[in-house]
């Protein structure tokens, strides 16, 4: 292609994904954190075994979504696993065993996040709308 005017808006995945705790393979598509003026960060975690993904409670000044979805796009709503997530300063535990979105408005304490059962692989995506 000759000189591109819009190619700068496209961030492409590259390199190898990172391996975190056993059973969790994580990828983030690198780019400027405020790519094209949009402050965001998207993480993609491929879950194949139970794991303690985040051990400490946290909160931040940007909104975040935690998305849990099956790894088979033809049956995305069939999660095939179970997650335990603590929410709030009280650490109220929520058990998630279907495809779900957890909305975390800025300031809301969340985590620990534990993957407790994996019947089949699934995808955990976190969408952060702001700088880390």
Report which of 43, 62, 63, 42 is spatially closest to residue 53, judged by C-alpha positions.
43
Tell me if 132 contacts other proteins by CB under 8 A. no
Using the rule CB under 8 A, is 118 a contact of other proteins?
A: no
Residue with tokens 């995808």: 123
Q: Which stretch binds other proteins (CB under 8 A): 12-20, 49-57, 81-89, 110-118?
A: 12-20
Nearest to 59 by CA among 2, 128, 119: 128
Which 19-58 residues touch other proteins, going by CB under 8 A?
25, 27, 29, 31, 35-38, 40, 42, 44, 46
The one segment of 52-60, 68-76, 89-97, 111-119 that binds other proteins by CB under 8 A: 68-76
Does 120 bind other proteins (CB under 8 A)? Our answer is no
For residue 58, give the DSSP letter. Answer: B
| Interaction of residue 100 with other proteins, rule CB under 8 A | yes
Q: Which of 35, 46, 47, 42 is nearest to 64 (CA)?
A: 42
Structural tokens at position 104: 């975390």
Phi-psi region of 52 (alpha: psi -120 to 50; beta: other; left: phi over 0): beta
Does 17 help bind other proteins (rule: CB under 8 A)? yes
| Cis ω before 112 (30° cut-off from 0) | yes
Binding footprint of other proteins on the chain (CB under 8 A)? 4-7, 9-17, 25, 27, 29, 31, 35-38, 40, 42, 44, 46, 63, 65, 67, 69, 71-77, 99-101, 103, 105, 121, 123, 125, 127, 129
């Amino acid at each position: 292609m000759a000189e591109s005017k819009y190619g700068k808006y496209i961030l492409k995945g590259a390199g190898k994904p990172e391996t975190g705790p056993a059973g969790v393979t994580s990828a983030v598509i690198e780019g400027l954190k405020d790519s094209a003026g949009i402050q965001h960060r998207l993480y993609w975690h491929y879950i194949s075994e139970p794991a303690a993904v985040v051990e400490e409670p946290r909160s931040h000044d940007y909104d975040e979504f935690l998305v849990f979805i099956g790894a088979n796009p033809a049956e995305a709503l069939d999660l095939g696993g179970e997650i335990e997530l603590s929410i709030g300063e009280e650490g109220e535990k929520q058990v998630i065993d279907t495809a779900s979105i957890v909305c975390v408005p800025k300031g809301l304490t969340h985590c620990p996040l534990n993957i407790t059962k994996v019947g089949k692989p699934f995808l955990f995506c976190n969408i952060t709308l702001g700088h880390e």
